[in-house]
Structure 1
Amino acid sequence: MKRCAFLSMASLEKFVCYDELLYAPLQRYGWHAETVDWRDNSIDWNQFDAVIIRSCWDYQSDPAQFLTVLATIERSTAKLDNSLEVVRWNLSKTYLRDLEAKGIPIVPTAWFHGLDIAPLLSLFTHWQTPEIILKPVISACADDTFRLTPTTLTQQSATLIRLFQERDCMVQPFIPTIVTEGEYSLFFFGDEYSHTILKTPKSGDFRVQEEHGGQLQRVEPEAQLLELSRAALAAIPEPTLYARVDWVRTGNGFALMELELIEPSLYFNMDATSAERFARVFATPPNAP
């Protein structure tokens, strides 16, 4: 039986993870899967036939070390999914500029290195929005993500300047439908569509992650969402084993929030056949009959 490692963080105690639902279907395809800590320097990656990046939800605290580990895995005999090239492209949310250049609609975004309050204040008028979102370009789990009005931006200015003074960050208008409708996530394994969920934040919050009280429901995507998602996938530098495409509805139609190719939760719990589908795509070579 072949061996597969799920790359994870040392402890998932504070997180909700569904990757264990892959163990049984992968075993039916001849794969033994186990979860390993990406920070464990004692691991010989050659003992695995494949390494799948999964719940590394702390990589944003040390992205350089994370890339070093992935480079070590790619030099081993194990196949890394998604690939190092894809991860490097997807690590910084500046990939959104690449997608926008290829015609994918994204949420309007301003990019900064370091932080000055005056340009941020001008964005409220520029976008005609009462609120903005500020976050690092390398981020996960809504870490260091702020929903701000002109008043709260001014009140928190010293803290924000200190937090972002040496970091690249991004600013977007807050999209109210995140609260009133939710965020759509479409999942693809290989080039095969799997399922869609709608994530809505708890009352009084804007973060849709389960860890922050977000609620999930399985939905059927509108045709436009599927079309837009496939167009976004076509812009990725090379084929991927898995992808999650996150959208929000705006006054001008759907806009891309994120294209998650590193460690997205794939919510196997929300679709009874999704884990089997993932295992089949993983275990079957792309050109196999």
Structure 2
Amino acid sequence: MAKIVFLSTDNLEGFFVYDTLLIPFFEQAGWQVATLSWHNKDINWSDYDYVIVRSTWDYQQYPSEFTACLESIDKSKAKLLNPLTLIKWNIEKSYLLDLEDRGVSTVPTFWQSHFSVDTLVQQFDVFATDTLIVKPILSANADDTYKVSRDNITQFIPTLSRCFAERKHMIQPFLPSIVEEGEYSLFYFAGAFSHSIRKVPKSGDFRVQEEHGGALHLIEPDQTMLDAALRALDAMPEQALYARVDLVRCKGEWALMELELIEPSLYFNLSPSSPQKFVDAFLAMHQQDALNP
């Protein structure tokens, strides 16, 4: 039986993982699935046909080690999905600059390598807002993400100075639509639309992730959302097995919050047809690999 690895991590306590919903569909298609931690250095990746990056949800804490693991997989006989070059392009949020250069509408952002209080304060006027979001360029799960207002900035300065002193980060205007309406995610497998959800933060919060109390709802996207998502996908440097396009409403238009190509939750639990769609996309990609070894 052909073998697949779902690349994960050591400890997923407190996280919601839905990738096991894929396993019966892979098995029906003749594929055996093992879930292995990227931290395990004793794995012979050549024992497997494919390694699909999934719940590696601590990689942002060890970026060099994570990249080294992916490089070792890429050098083995196993095929890494998504591809290593695409993951390296996507691992820092500066990829948004590339997409913006290619005509994709993104959330307005100021990029900074070293923390500066004066520069942070200036962004209130630059973005004409009373509230800013500060977050790392390399991050996941809303780790080290701060909502700072003109009124409370003084209390955040020690934390921000410590967190971002020598760490690249991004400053964005807080978008009220995230609280009022939510954030939308559209899921694509091998370029084909699968399903879409709306993520709404819990009362008093701005983070939409389940782990932070966000509520998730399956929705039907309208054509404007689909068009915005396709513009982002068309601007990618190469094809992906899976992609999650996160959209928010900004000044009445759809703006890309993130294009997730490494380890996004794909919320198979919310769309009963999505596991089969994912496996079908994989099988089509595998068939193409067989035709073009």
TM-score range, shorter chain: over 0.9
Equivalent pair of 1:190/1:242 in contact (CA under 8 Å)? yes
The question of whether the paired residues in 1 share the 8 Å contact of 2:148 and 2:156 is answered with: no
1:159 aligns with 2:159: yes
5+ residue gaps, structure 1: none
Following TM superposition, by how much is the alpha carbon of 1:155 offset from its aligned partner in structure 2, in angstroms? 1.9
CA deviation map 1:115-139 (0-9, x unaligned): 0111111111111111000000000
Distance 1:123 1:40 in 2: 43
Partner of 1:180: 180
- Give the drift of 1:159: 2.0
> Are the equivalent residues in 2 in contact too, given 1:4–1:32 (CA < 8 A)?
yes
* Other structure's SS at 1:151 match: coil
**CA deviation profile, 1:151-176 (whole Å, cap 9, x unmatched):** 32222212211111110000000000
Partners in 2 of 1:156 and 1:145 — Cα distance? 12
In the TM superposition, 1:62-211 aligns within 5 A as 62-211=62-211
**Counterpart residue number, 1:46:** 46
Q: Is 1:61 equivalent to 2:58 in the alignment?
A: no
| 2:73/2:80 contact within 8 Å kept | yes
Q: CA deviation at 1:219?
A: 0.4
Alignment correspondent of 2:212: 212
State the shift of 1:191 in Å. Answer: 1.2
TM-score (norm 2): 0.96
Q: Alignment partner of 1:198: what SS?
A: strand
- Consecutive unaligned residues of structure 2, counting only runs of 5 or more, are none
CA offset digits 1:90-136 (Å, max 9, x no partner)? 00000000011111110100000110111111111111111000000
Residue identity matched to 1:189: F
Deviations along 1:208-248, one digit per CA (max 9) or x if unpaired, are: 00000000000010101111111111111111000000000
* Deviation of 1:34 (Å): 1.3
Counterpart mapping for 1:25-36 below 5 A: 25-36=25-36
Q: Distance in 2 between matches of 1:256 and 1:48?
A: 35
| RMSD of equivalent CA atoms | 1.2
| TM-superposition CA deviations, 1:38-80 (whole Å, max 9, x none) | 0000111011110000000000001111010000000000010
CA–CA distance in 2 between the matches of 1:251 and 1:68?
Answer: 41
Taking structure 1 as the reference length, the TM-score comes to 0.98
Any idea what the Cα deviations from partners look like across 1:193-219, whole Å, max 9, x if unmatched? 100000000000000000000000000
- State the secondary structure of the residue aligned to 2:152: helix
SS of residue paired to 1:246: strand
Q: Which amino acid aligns with 2:167?
A: R
Structure 1 equivalent of residue 272 of structure 2: 272
Alpha-carbon separation, structure 2, partners of 1:156 and 1:207: 18
- SS of the equivalent of 2:237 reads coil
Conserved 8 A contact 1:117-1:154: no
C-alpha distance in 2 between matches for 1:147 and 1:31? 45
For 2:241 and 2:228, the matched residues in 1 are separated by: 19
CA distance in 1, matches of 2:69, 2:12: 19
The corresponding residue for 1:250 is 250
Is the Cα contact below 8 Å between 2:248 and 2:255 reproduced in 1?
A: yes
How many positions carry a matched residue from both structures?
Answer: 289
Identity of aligned residues (%): 48
